[in-house]
Chain A
Amino acid sequence: MKRTSKEVAESYARVSRRGMILGGLQLGFVGLLGLRMRHMQVDQADEFRLLAEENRINLRLIPPSRGQIFDRNGRIIAANEPAYRITMVREDAEDVDAVMARLAELVELGPDDIERARAEMARSAPFLPVTVADRVSWEAVSRVAVNAPALPGVVPEVGLSRVYPDRETFAHVVGYVGPVSERDLARYEDPEPVLRIPRFQIGKVGVERNYEEQLRGRAGAKRVEVNAVGRVMRELDRREGEAGSDVQLTLDSDLQNYVQARLGEESASVVVMDLEHGDLLAIASAPSYDPNKFVRGISVADYSVYRENERRPLASKTVQDAYPPGSTFKMVTALAAMDAGVVSPNDTVWCPGHMTVSGRRFHCWKRVGHGHMNLELSLRESCDVYYYDLALKVGIEKIAETARRLGLGEVHGIPMSAVTEGLIPDKEWKLRNRDAPWVVGDTVNSSIGQGFVLSSPLQQAVMTARLATGRAISPRLVKSVDGIETPRDPGEPMGFNENHLRQLRQAMFSVSNNRRGTAYGSRIIDDGMRMAGKTGTSQVRNITAAERARGVVRNEDLPWKRRDHALFVNFAPYEQPQIAVSVVVEHGGGGSAAAAPIARDVTLQALYKGDPPLEAYPTKDRDRIREQQQRLAEEREDKMRDGRSRA
């Protein structure tokens, strides 16, 4: 059929009309696309550019090297040693099994290690290094390096790890570091990103924990460009971190090592304090533990050995344990009574061996009694009745106040873990905590450091230091941080009558220098070094009337756990006091037999800054002391050689 020209024209008109409409719609849509493009690329360009940069740039942290810890003479206590590990990059190794088999011939690799490494490789990207062996020896690393051509993808890496060359000696003071745990992270409100680096070590206890901020330093960072699957394409820039600050302690590591060796396996603690500024020269708790085991991740077996030891090696007894101070508290009672003016040093009290207070009979340790007692005699022979009498005159409130002025019942701010407050009881305390009124018997018990009274060996040392100097001296453990000396505070005068203090010191002098003194056996012969001290024996059990009737069982016949604690505090030299020492031997029996000899050895060691001449000891002790000095010197030498060779 033939088209009419009219039809053709009509068709043409319609097609072109609708074509125009459609063309217009198309153009409109293109305009929309253009606007959208403008919106994204011009208006929102900055936001998108930022997102693109965030995609592309990854911040990688460079862990800082941890500050080291030194003793007062600059000897190292906590060091960083290179720790080697072997890593493998899956994509470079190609045949992982074959390479792993070859590697196992050079480095100790258990089937577990291989299994774990394989699992980790399967999880992570092929270009990321996976640790195959951790803490390998330098020899093993050398063997791997020599055989590098046969070990594609195997890369030895070096990092820094904490090491404590003196092992047990400083464990309770310095503590240890370990990998960051979830609980550590929870401690911080906004944990620093560096804490999330795998295997990053932070302080867990002791100085390592309390000076964590200073020791850690600041992490460096490098910005790297990564692609969509996280492979690093290139390093853009790098900011070096700051190493942590070094911390210097007031401790003398020779003395501390000696003390630790002297205590041996005894369950005991010793605090030695310098009287000038309160510097702690030694603060040792025995038995101790090896902090290096914790740094590496302690095995369950090792840990349970520590846990199950009844002498509690993990406890830092110098600060976290509080004991009844026993007779060492008598200075407090005496000072309180003199300060209150209810008694003068020469007033005498008759000791018949016991005293009856409100129907209850309180015994003196000497059943037959001491007879007439004044301050010096009572302290020298440790008469109990004299102090019962004083306490009844002065009252508990004054005793408690005096005790607090002497630093008991107070947390001394030193950066160790779990520092205890001890306990100085008074009427209000008993009502609040025991829900019972204070009775006069409590005062009597407290007067000789029994009953509720508790104090830590550190507090005992502070008390002795304050008695020796008359100043409110406080302990200091950190000498300097990053070379900047921490504030030194000689302490304000406490405001006690100087005459009373002198009388007390003189009485303490008789304790260890008078033939009838309880610590006469532990006297020092050297005239310029003589010490003034006080023994203490604190009961860990009540002696019943029936028991007393049968005759009190001797300590040696009791099981270890039930024996008395032995205490001794002293300062020396008497004429020019330089140091204060406090010793506690758990379940050691009597203070004069178990604690005083240790205190004397430590005092002499501290004053002579090394082994003292045998002439400082009484003649009959010299042979024994010579042997002891030799034995301890050998022990320390062995340990030091061992420790340094590892470091």
Chain B
Amino acid sequence: MSYLEYSVKTVPSGWRKILYLNWPVVVLLTAVAGVGFLMLYSVAGGTLQPWAEPQMKRYLLGLVAMFVVALVPIWFWRNMAFVIYLGALGLLVAVEFVGSVGMGAQRWIDLGFMRLQPSELMKIALVMALAAYYDWLPLRRTSNPFFVALPIALILIPTFLVITQPDLGTAILLLTAGGLMMFLAGVHWAYFGIVIAAGAAGLSAVFKSRGTDWQLLKDYQFRRIDTFLDPSTDPLGAGYHITQAKIAMGSGGWTGRGFMQGTQSRLNFLPEKHTDFIFNTLAEEFGFIGGMSLLVLYVLILVFCVVSALQNKDRFSSLLILGVGLTFFLFFAVNMSMVMGLAPVVGVPLPLVSYGGSAMLVLMIAFGLVQSAHIHRPR
């Protein structure tokens, strides 16, 4: 593997690279983040504190990080992919021993200025590692059982570590993103058939394990699934959250109840209104039109990523771009399914809108990689 194959001389260099950024994506990202600022301002009752202002600062930091990452040539990132993966893995292990636990999930390491969640880092590191792996692997060996087992190990090791944290949402995200990366790389259909069948078997095993001494999920995780399947079983407990979230969304109607007029969020009926359930505030205050607008912004970002990937002749670059887009998609798809009552509440934030530092920074760095791949694409 060598970057010598690229037509390096046509790649822009120095500060001129800035002109070759995928600017529409930058604008769209800023627009989505702007929606986030607006909603954080609203749920705080019309003040910048305590959420909107820190979120803006983080976004600016993320933007800078994105530019820095974008200016570094993509082949450097490709060569660093495994190092980054191993680093993230190391942090995941380390956090088991020295990390702090908050809200029953997600462990972090306190860096002083921010809390680093290694599981967030792993999302992008896994995508990079898999893209690099399939870039290295000769095409004809893609479906060779041994070379299929290797990436599976790459996916399962961090997934297992994250589950033990315990952070079911991130684990599902890692597993799905990893699997889809393998699909993109061209692994034979049959493998996916087997995995889906095994998955169905595993799922039934998980439910069978309930109440036995080899129980595979924690009790609260089982309860969340129960609640998802029938929120009315626990209308005042866990079911309360999802019921209130649906009321908030549904009561918005076509045009919403108006900026800062959402009673469900303003009167605190809506749980976690500044993090996981922020989309419900948007839907309540700006209605179907507001919710769809954000969805369209997300879709546009995806479209630009896919177009950029398809234009890119470099295998690592196009896999990476598609992988980042995929991760991004999984974020908002899982979050939205969750807050609309289509999926159990697993604690996945709405990308770039929910209040939270790690997730935003990691996403911005991921889009930095997308930009780098875009700038340094072979022409």
Contacts and interface: CB of A to CB of B under 8 A. Distances in A.
Given A18-B184, A23-B302, A55 B292 contact: no
A47 B329 CA distance: 31
B253 A227 contact: no
Interface in B176-190: 180, 183-186
A41 B186 contact: no
A33 B263 contact: no
B308 to A, nearest CB: 11
Contacts of B329: 26, 29
A310 B315 CA distance: 107
A296 interface: no
Contacts of A29: 329, 333
A52 interface: yes
A56 B340 contact: no
A44 B250 CA distance: 7
Contact of B336 (A7, A33, A44, A48): A33
Report the interface size class on chain A. 35 or more
Residue among A3, A19, A38, A228 with the most chain B CB within 10 A? A19
B333 A30 contact: yes
A14 B318 contact: no
Interface in B249-285: 249-254, 263-264, 267-269, 283
Interface in B37-87: none
A225 interface: yes
A56 B251 CA distance: 12
Interface string A449-472: 000000000000000000000000
Given A29-B333, A33-B295, A23 B306 contact: yes
Contact of B267 (A8, A15, A233): A233
B251 A49 contact: yes
Nearest to B136: A1
Contacts of B291: 37, 41
A26 B336 CA distance: 13
B20 interface: no
A356 interface: no
B166 to A, nearest CB: 26
A41 B250 contact: yes
Given A37-B340, A233-B267, A15 B318 contact: yes
A34 interface: yes
A36 B340 contact: yes
Nearest to A17: B186
Interface string B90-118: 00000000000000000000000000000
Contacts of A14: 139, 186
Contacts of B198: none
Interface string A171-203: 000000000000000000000000000000000
A368 interface: no
A44 B249 CA distance: 10
Residue among B251, B268, B340 with the most chain A CB within 10 A? B251
A55 B251 CA distance: 12
Contacts of A49: 250-251, 253
Interface of A: 1-3, 7-8, 10-12, 14-16, 18-19, 22-23, 26-27, 29-30, 33-34, 36-38, 40-42, 44-45, 47-49, 51-53, 55-56, 225-229, 233
Top 3 A-B pairs, shortest CB-CB distance: A48-B250, A52-B251, A227-B267
Given A45-B253, A56-B264, 17 more contacts: A2-B5, A11-B315, A15-B309, A23-B302, A23-B306, A26-B326, A29-B329, A30-B333, A33-B295, A37-B283, A41-B250, A45-B250, A48-B247, A51-B247, A55-B244, A56-B263, A228-B267
26 contacts: A7-B139, A12-B315, A15-B186, A15-B309, A18-B183, A19-B184, A19-B322, A26-B302, A27-B299, A33-B340, A34-B295, A38-B288, A41-B249, A44-B250, A45-B251, A47-B250, A48-B251, A49-B251, A53-B263, A55-B263, A56-B263, A56-B264, A226-B267, A227-B267, A228-B269, A229-B268
